Structure formats: structure tokens, C-alpha cells
Amino acid sequence: MKTKQRIGRLLLFFALLPLCMFGGCSKEKEEYTKIGDVDFTVVEEADLPEELKNAIQEKKKEPFRLTYLAEDALYLAQGYGEQPSGGYSIAVEDLFQAAEGICFKTTLIGPAADEKVTTAVTHPYIVVKLQPMETEVHFLE
């Protein structure tokens, strides 16, 4: 009996394997339902807490996502790693409260084709400041 169960499981596994290989088992992007707005301020580097500033400096060469909870604020930071020139900006597309926590979505905007930019390597990132709260933070794609 156990042999038949094993064979049945193997057949089921091999029957489902092509589905997994062609996207059937890929994880769907999680969707969050907005239940409220979140007030925020974009923070300049000079106004960042020293510990957060140091963490960003360590990570900025690669894309990163950071949260930092201070006594007076919750900071959310997203960086886009090394870029070949200047002229990049970052837009906050969405920042809202969901049942699962805070949801944060940004987009990197490249320089316009006719824009004159520095040829120096840059590391664009954005930091937003919220009211202090202990909550899950979901960085959305």
C-alpha cells in the first residue's frame, strides 16, 4: 500500500512540475487595501538622524529599503543603487495605511533625453518621515 501511495505522489509531482516551471507556482504580488492616508515629509540628508545617515551610506551602492524608528519619527528609506549619471529623481507613488501595516511605493525617474546631467556616478535615494509608530512596513513594487 505504501508503495502505491509513493508512486501516486510521484506521478502527481511530475504532473504538476510543468505548471511550476511555467509560472503556475510563482508567488503573486500581495495586494493591500488602503484603510487610511499617512502624512509624511520628504527629508533631506542634512536632517537625517546620524545612525540612519550612516546606514544609507553603507548600503547606497546597491538598491536598499530601510526603516528607522526614532523617538520622534518613523523613517522609511528606499535607494536605487548606483546610477551612471545625475538627473535622477524619485517619486512617492503611494504611502498609505493598510490592515497589514504601512505600504510605501516609489518610482525612480531617469533624466530626460535632452537634459544635461553630470556624468558622475550617483546613488539616488529618498527618505520620508512619518509619525512614530511600531508597525509592519511593506515596500511595494
The per-residue pLDDT for range 4-13, each reduced to its tens digit, is: 444 444 333 3
Using CA atoms in the order 90, 94, 96, 98, what is the torsion angle rounded to 10 degrees? -120
Measured distance CA(4)–CA(73) in Å, rounded: 60
Kindly report the backbone phi and psi dihedral angles of residue 8, in degrees, each rounded to the nearest multiple of 5, phi listed first. Answer: -60, -45
The per-residue pLDDT for range 83-137, each reduced to its tens digit, is: 999 999 999 999 999 999 999 999 999 998 888 888 899 999 999 999 999 999 9
The pLDDT of residue 117 is 86
86: Cα separation from own chain's centroid: 22
Bridge partners of residue 80, in order along the sequence: 63
